[in-house]
Structure 1
Amino acid sequence: MKYGQHLRENIAPEYGPEPYLNYAHLDGIIRILSGKDLSSADMDSRQVSLTTPAPTNKKGIVLDSATITEEAFISSIDSELTKVEHFTLRKVTDLRNQLDEIEQKLKEISLQDEEETDSLQKLADDVASKFLTLEKYVNLNFMGFHKILKKHDKYCSSAPCKTFYINRMHSQAWVRGDYSDVVVRLSAIYSALRNDQVAEENNDASQSFLRSTTKYWIKTEDVSKVKYAVLRNLPVFLQKTSTGESDSQLTNSVYLDNDQLELYHGRLDKTQGALALRLRWYGAAEPSIVFVERKTHRDKWIGEVSVKERFMVKEKEVQQVLTNTYPIKTKKEKMIKEGSTQDEADDWECLASEITQAISSKQLVPTMRTQYMRTAFQIPFDATVRVSLDTNLCMISERGYDLKNMTVWHRDPNQTIAHNEITRFPHAVLEIKLELKGENAAPPKWVTDLQNSGLLYEVHKFSKFIHGCAVMMPEDVRAVPYWVDDASLRQSIIASGGGRILVRDDMTEQEKKALKLKHPGSGPGANQVYDHLLPFGDIEDNKVNTATGRTNVSKLASKGVIDNSRKYDPSTAGKFGSNFYDDDLEEMEEEQETCMGWLFPFCSPYNNMSVVAPTSVQKIEPKIFFANERTFLHWLHAGITLYSIASAILVFSEDGASWAHWYAMALLPIALGFCMYALHVFLWRADRIKTRIPGRWDDPRGPYVLGGLLVIVLSVNFITKLEQIWDYESMEL
């Protein structure tokens, strides 16, 4: 499907085609320009004459004002950019005005009146739906400008202009504008309609958290849809900035590690008690308050839960924490004087002592920094359900500069960062944190619906710290996480100089073996058993199969099924007409990827495509392997028991031709079948557990077959013995 057709099929009915990029017109200009043999400007001449004839092409034909020239394309591009910008700003203004009306009505109504609250709820839903429609409009045009400019530079290479106009487009308000105020106001409206109750503040000095956390990747174009889905159920945790309240806040975290990357490898291997130590602050300004945080990994299968603990210090005290000179005793006495209980002070002292001693004994220094804009959704002081969304995520190396005896503990933001010292993550990261009562408590329905919406791509145990270290320190890591093989990350990893942790598709087997020996974590097969966990696949060129992620929808899409009424035929993708200007295969694949990106509209008012839930990834704990072993032993025990019974019958049967002999011989193959079945199922299930293959891990047929055979033999024996007793009684009579 070419982009022009894709654009026409996704035009919002309420907008009509007029506000959209006139792709066909620009495409026509390029067709004409690509067929002309235009003369190029003389780059050396610095004088002109006002009395010379008009310029001509190589054929000597004068280029008059009616001839389509390069200026016509430039003028059209300028006009289209202005049109899209004005339309976007007008629509945003209309949405803000509608929010003003809703907020005014909210002050006038009683929240106890269900009819009025339902009416306002529908108005708020309508504003949110229109905002998502506007965002899709922006994305369609944004992609359209990229496509048409790329096509222009390809067929009119004498006058390339893509770089200039892409930079210009990124500076315009319709692209770079921050419309998060719409999200903030919608959140406040929904919160008021829900009548959210603020929980009591927890003043625990150590601020410890016990939660179950699931992490997901989100495509950039789906961020607003996910925000809307969450804020309808949880309020945005507003952040105070220099320009007012915003829905997001810049978050910086400097992670500590030593030269051997001991903490990195511990967190990667998920060893019991593995630590992650970081220094965190909020806001774009230089930090004044810093949180010293420790995350400790605990294995769930032994009944423990991973925990995050932290305490707060002033920026000037960070050096004391890093050099183990922090006055813990003095601080503890001050806490007690200020009203903290003895238990709180003791817990704080224990945490501070353990962290400072770990930094000193393990020789930990600043190693890697994460930086992102975090949007948090939570009822204040209520951690039952907390959702955080991290966008504009990047990881920055904190190695390679003088720490000046720990007086400097993070990179100077005014210094230039080399390309191999920063990596920009191409997706947003969503964390859903649940703190539910009871081991078998289920999450709220809206959380389950969001997980099954097709907008989220679960990445098991994803870590910003691990990803940043693996990409920016490829020579120091002994192993890498499985998700680096995801095709969607390849470009960002290579741009950051971490390409050696990847396995190229064009590598020979000898090169792959050599790479595996030199870098065990990056060699072929290191993450082979986890390839099905990669949200966008591990083959960079397989656009159709990897564009939509690990979902049932993507499996259908890869076969050409878009929805119930439309079917895309991949066989026509490679067929080109006689016109040399048609898009080549590479552009066709890119446009297929673009189309796939819109397979999952959420709350779209004009697209009724059905969404199929992603296949959930099974959670693996050591107790699952133990359960598999216990099941194997139970089946083996049943087989051995049957074999022992059959052997005893054979030993004690007097006549080899008696019924007892045949009964025992019938039990022996069944006993052997139990043992062979136990071994087969054990190995089959162990493989599925190891590779975390989604789906059923039980065998619904085997037990019926073996159990049925055993029941048949026992029934035949019962009937035979019953007949023998009957015959014996008849003879006695």
Structure 2
Amino acid sequence: MKFGDHLNERVFSPWRHYYVQYDYLKHELKRRQLSEFGWTGEDEEEFAHILETELDKVYDFVTAKLAEVEARINYCEKTLRITTSSPTTASTSQRQMVDDTLTEALFDVNDLAKFTRLNHTAFLKIIKKHDKWTDYRLHENFVPKMRENPLDKQRFDVPIVYISALHDICRGTRTPSPYAQDNNEDDGVFQRATAKYWVHPDNVTEVKAILMLHLPVYIFGKDTTTKMDIKETDSAISSVYMDNPQFELYEGRLQRDQGAEAIRIRWYGDMKSNPLFIERKTHHAPWTDDFRSLKERFPLNVDEVPAYLAGTPYKGKQQNMFVANGVQDSIKNKNLKSTLRVFYNRTAFQIPKDQRVRVSLDTDLTFIKENNKSYWRRPDVGVDYPFPYLEEDEVLRFPYAVLETKVQTHLGQAMPDWLSRLVESHLVHEVPRFSKYLHGASILYKDKIPLLPWWHSELAADILKPRDTEFGLSRSASFKPLMDGQYLFKSAMATEHKRIRVASMRGKQDGSTSDSSSSTDKRTLISSWSPQKQKYHQITLGQSVDTDDHNVNNINKKGRALVPQSTTVINTASRKRGGFIAKWQEQFQQHVMKQNSATNGGVIPLRKVKVEPKVFFANERTFISWLQFCGLLLMVALNLLNFGDGAAKIAGSIFICIAALVALYALYRFEKRAWMINRRIAGRYDDLWGPIVLCILLVGALIVNFYLQFGR
């Protein structure tokens, strides 16, 4: 698709007049270049002036919208201060109103981020066309002007942090967790089950907004409730990874050897006020009893790092002595030096002092070579992304953001349902076992490293997927905010939900009318939702309805169940309607009841099964093993045909036929298993009859051979 068509498809209609006039600029470029006099110096000046005018228009609009969002945030903050100082009955409704206002501001920030990125790309595209079609070079002259009005550096992290902090106050999520003491941020040991995903730059702000609606934003060492205490550099994280010239730690982490280590020096922000951390990550193999990713760390002052790396004993807290001595031994025995610096801006989402569920999103990911000639880190590199002063062979800028989920499964914590739907949506692209250090080292030191990570081929693929479900942030035809395809009438929903609870309690006390009243109230709640949700209700909901939005059985456009988590009883009216929907619904209900009976009444959610690459490789190895046997059998058959007598030639012909049949059968089994794997079909992957039939054929061929040789 041409960029002009791409731009027209993604234009936000209320802001249409503030986008760069890409088609007009392209038309002017062609018209002037194909004119009678060609592209002249006067054309160059006029075209540059038009570009500057368009840039000022876009930049002024972005600045004005950010100021508008900030004004709304200030208003919400003042309102919350009043309601907090004098709590009354009316303060609850005011908090709900503030929560709705903040949500609308969050949608505006998401739309503004897409607007900024789209216009920035349009300017770069038109400059590239100009330099290609004319003899002038506008890139060298116009890009510095773009840096004066930096569309690519418009940061939306700070407004998101403010909105997140005020959201927490509205919803009361700052209540201390019962796990606060067991999982304090100061602990030096972290045991987590992690998963990593790539996020396209077009989806970064939307992913942040979705995460913020469920988890508060957390900045290390900062209180997000105080505005003046938050700076853009607070999200910067720098890590210096250590390795030896043989890249021993790199190979151990890549091959996932038992006890493989990763040692790094990490600091937050610009290093002036925050302490450093010496960290060690240890991998344990699946066959061990201690199978989990283990991260250990301890703080250290900046001026103490050179002496510590040189071997000076650690003199800190006694509880950190074991880790500090272990890291020092590894540095000495393996001759580790500073090898690679990894920089990124991190937005972390976590309930304060509760690390059971933690999600982080890393943007502006950059890999930089460390020279380790005079110091443990390069003093000429700070936190000023994109580091334009570095040579191209010393820096690598990663094109995507990295989403990482961390769940403490050893505490019995499972991944929340909303997070499961996010990682299965079109917004992210899963890359199992992605490592920042492995990726940066494999490219910047590719001449010294023989083994490369498997995800290098993923960089050539387009991870920007089309929206196939209603999950995420969107706008209605009237440009109202939609979350997962639903209108955000939270105040009305909360009031209705409260009324239903009261009616349900009265129904329980009444006894005889409890079922009917509860059913009526639930149907009332469903009818108060948007028409789209009401359509889903007509298709999938019967007499038993769950009022929780996460437990409602949704169906997408293709008729597939998205999140079936509650048992649905088929309505009599739906049976009377007949047709495909009623028939499909009855079959689905029978399937769910069958699964429930097989699990003693438990419901099995229909989740997408993730298939690791090793499953495909195992299928391929099995196919190659069968072909090796066929090749051996074919070699024996050819020898019998070429050098044997009449009986031997008959036996050779039989062996050739067996080899051909086995090869065709192996190809059939390979294709069938690949088809089952690609479609996540739960079935038998072993081969019951193939080996038996092969043994019978071989024994039969041997009997025929003996009969021809000795039976005559």
Distance 2:409 2:171 in 1: 21
Q: Are residues 1:281 and 2:252 paired?
A: no
Given the superposition, is the C-alpha separation of residues 167 and 240 from structure 1 closer, same or farther in structure 2, using an over 3 Å criterion? farther
Give the greater-gyration-radius structure (CA). 1
Distance 2:186 2:4 in 1: 59
Q: Which of 148, 162, 173 is the matching residue for 2:126? A: 148
Q: Which of 168, 193, 200 is the matching residue for 1:219? A: 200
Q: Which of 522, 528, 548 is the matching residue for 2:464? A: 548
- 1:30-54 deviation digits (Å, cap 9, x = unpaired): 2321222437879xxxxxxxxxxxx
Q: Which of 168, 171, 175 is the matching residue for 1:194? A: 171
- 1:313-371 deviation digits (Å, cap 9, x = unpaired): 2223223332322145xx4xxx4xxxxxxxxx3x5322222221121111111111111
Q: Are residues 1:207 and 2:188 paired?
A: yes
Q: Are residues 1:396 and 2:312 paired?
A: no
Shift of 1:9: 3.4
Given the superposition, is the C-alpha separation of residues 18 and 161 from structure 1 closer, same or farther in structure 2, using an over 3 Å criterion? same
- 1:530-574 deviation digits (Å, cap 9, x = unpaired): xxxxxx2xxxxxxxxx3535xxx5xxxxxxxx879xxxxxxxxxx
- 1:27-84 deviation digits (Å, cap 9, x = unpaired): 3322321222437879xxxxxxxxxxxxxxxxxxxxxxxxx93433222222211111
- 1:497-537 deviation digits (Å, cap 9, x = unpaired): xxxxxxxxxxxxxxxxxxxxxxxxxxxxxxxxxxxxxxx2x
Distance 1:100 1:688 in 2: 57
Q: Are residues 1:314 and 2:301 paired?
A: yes
The amino acid of 1:410's aligned partner reads R
The amino acid of 1:427's aligned partner reads Y
The amino acid of 2:373's aligned partner reads D
Kindly report which structure 2 residues correspond to 1:251-400, keeping only aligned pairs within 5 A, or say none: 251-285=237-271, 289-303=275-289, 304-328=291-315, 331=316, 335=317, 345=318, 347-399=319-371
Shift of 1:221: 2.1
Shift of 1:4: 3.5
Given the superposition, is the C-alpha separation of residues 237 and 682 from structure 1 closer, same or farther in structure 2, using an over 3 Å criterion? farther
Given the superposition, is the C-alpha separation of residues 468 and 204 from structure 1 closer, same or farther in structure 2, using an over 3 Å criterion? closer
- 1:698-732 deviation digits (Å, cap 9, x = unpaired): 2499999xxxxxxxxxxxxxxxxxxxxxxxxxxxx
In structure 1, the partner of 2:392 is: 419
Distance 1:261 1:316 in 2: 27
8 Å Cα contact 2:348/2:359 also seen in 1: yes
Q: Which has the higher contact order (CA 8 A, sep 6+)?
A: 1
Distance 1:273 1:249 in 2: 31
In structure 2, the partner of 1:575 is: none
Q: Are residues 1:696 and 2:681 paired?
A: yes
In structure 2, the partner of 1:19 is: 18
Given the superposition, is the C-alpha separation of residues 699 and 314 from structure 1 closer, same or farther in structure 2, using an over 3 Å criterion? same
In structure 2, the partner of 1:46 is: none
Given the superposition, is the C-alpha separation of residues 316 and 611 from structure 1 closer, same or farther in structure 2, using an over 3 Å criterion? farther
In structure 2, the partner of 1:105 is: 79
Of 241-250 and 290-299, deviating more is 241-250
Q: Which of 63, 73, 76 is the matching residue for 2:50? A: 76
1:392 match: secondary structure: strand
Between the two proteins, the alignment pairs up a number of residues equal to: 507
Shift of 1:139: 2.4
In structure 2, the partner of 1:714 is: none
Given the superposition, is the C-alpha separation of residues 6 and 278 from structure 1 closer, same or farther in structure 2, using an over 3 Å criterion? closer
Given the superposition, is the C-alpha separation of residues 694 and 217 from structure 1 closer, same or farther in structure 2, using an over 3 Å criterion? farther
Shift of 1:290: 2.1
The amino acid of 2:34's aligned partner reads G
8 Å Cα contact 1:288/1:315 also seen in 2: no
Shift of 1:164: 2.5
Distance 2:400 2:13 in 1: 30
In structure 2, the partner of 1:159 is: 136
Given the superposition, is the C-alpha separation of residues 683 and 164 from structure 1 closer, same or farther in structure 2, using an over 3 Å criterion? same
- 1:584-613 deviation digits (Å, cap 9, x = unpaired): xxxxxxxxxxxxxxx997334568998999
2:363 match: secondary structure: strand
Distance 1:260 1:547 in 2: 34
Q: Give me the TM-score of the superposition, normalised by structure 1.
A: 0.61
Q: Give me the TM-score of the superposition, normalised by structure 2.
A: 0.63
Distance 2:94 2:688 in 1: 59
Shift of 1:288: 6.9
Distance 2:298 2:230 in 1: 26
Shift of 1:227: 0.9
Distance 1:611 1:147 in 2: 36
Distance 1:683 1:323 in 2: 59
- The RMSD of aligned alpha carbons is 4.1
Given the superposition, is the C-alpha separation of residues 39 and 682 from structure 1 closer, same or farther in structure 2, using an over 3 Å criterion? closer
Shift of 1:681: 12
Given the superposition, is the C-alpha separation of residues 313 and 423 from structure 1 closer, same or farther in structure 2, using an over 3 Å criterion? same
1:370 match: secondary structure: strand
Q: Are residues 1:602 and 2:490 paired?
A: no
Given the superposition, is the C-alpha separation of residues 210 and 601 from structure 1 closer, same or farther in structure 2, using an over 3 Å criterion? closer
The amino acid of 1:154's aligned partner reads K
2:189 match: secondary structure: coil
1:209 match: secondary structure: strand
In structure 2, the partner of 1:463 is: 435
- 1:343-402 deviation digits (Å, cap 9, x = unpaired): xx3x53222222211211111111111111122111221101111111111111224x52
Distance 2:321 2:671 in 1: 47
Distance 2:38 2:677 in 1: 62
Shift of 1:301: 4.6
The amino acid of 1:548's aligned partner reads L
Distance 1:414 1:126 in 2: 39
Given the superposition, is the C-alpha separation of residues 278 and 3 from structure 1 closer, same or farther in structure 2, using an over 3 Å criterion? closer
Kindly report which structure 2 residues correspond to 1:167-186, keeping only aligned pairs within 5 A, or say none: 167-186=144-163
Given the superposition, is the C-alpha separation of residues 282 and 37 from structure 1 closer, same or farther in structure 2, using an over 3 Å criterion? same
Given the superposition, is the C-alpha separation of residues 75 and 295 from structure 1 closer, same or farther in structure 2, using an over 3 Å criterion? same
Distance 1:473 1:213 in 2: 27
Shift of 1:307: 0.3
The amino acid of 1:428's aligned partner reads A
Q: Which of 409, 414, 417 is the matching residue for 2:376? A: 409
Q: Which of 442, 457, 465 is the matching residue for 1:485? A: 457
Gaps of 5+ in 2: 383-388, 486-555, 563-606, 623-661, 690-712
Q: Are residues 1:434 and 2:407 paired?
A: yes
Q: Are residues 1:449 and 2:425 paired?
A: no
2:367 match: secondary structure: strand
Shift of 1:87: 1.4
Q: Are residues 1:245 and 2:230 paired?
A: yes
The amino acid of 1:134's aligned partner reads L
In structure 2, the partner of 1:8 is: 8
In structure 1, the partner of 2:28 is: 29
In structure 1, the partner of 2:641 is: none
The amino acid of 1:402's aligned partner reads K
Given the superposition, is the C-alpha separation of residues 28 and 459 from structure 1 closer, same or farther in structure 2, using an over 3 Å criterion? same
8 Å Cα contact 1:111/1:193 also seen in 2: no
Q: Are residues 1:86 and 2:85 paired?
A: no
Q: Which of 92, 95, 98 is the matching residue for 1:120? A: 98
Q: Are residues 1:618 and 2:611 paired?
A: yes
Shift of 1:239: 5.1
Gaps of 5+ in 1: 43-67, 336-344, 489-535, 537-545, 554-561, 565-598, 630-675, 705-733
Q: Are residues 1:233 and 2:214 paired?
A: yes
Distance 2:7 2:118 in 1: 7
Kindly report which structure 2 residues correspond to 1:526-541, keeping only aligned pairs within 5 A, or say none: 536=461
8 Å Cα contact 2:242/2:263 also seen in 1: yes
Distance 2:185 2:349 in 1: 21
Distance 1:285 1:214 in 2: 28
Distance 1:272 1:9 in 2: 50
Distance 2:378 2:229 in 1: 28
Q: Percent identity?
A: 28
Distance 1:204 1:392 in 2: 25
Distance 1:175 1:257 in 2: 34
8 Å Cα contact 1:685/1:697 also seen in 2: no
Distance 1:412 1:700 in 2: 56
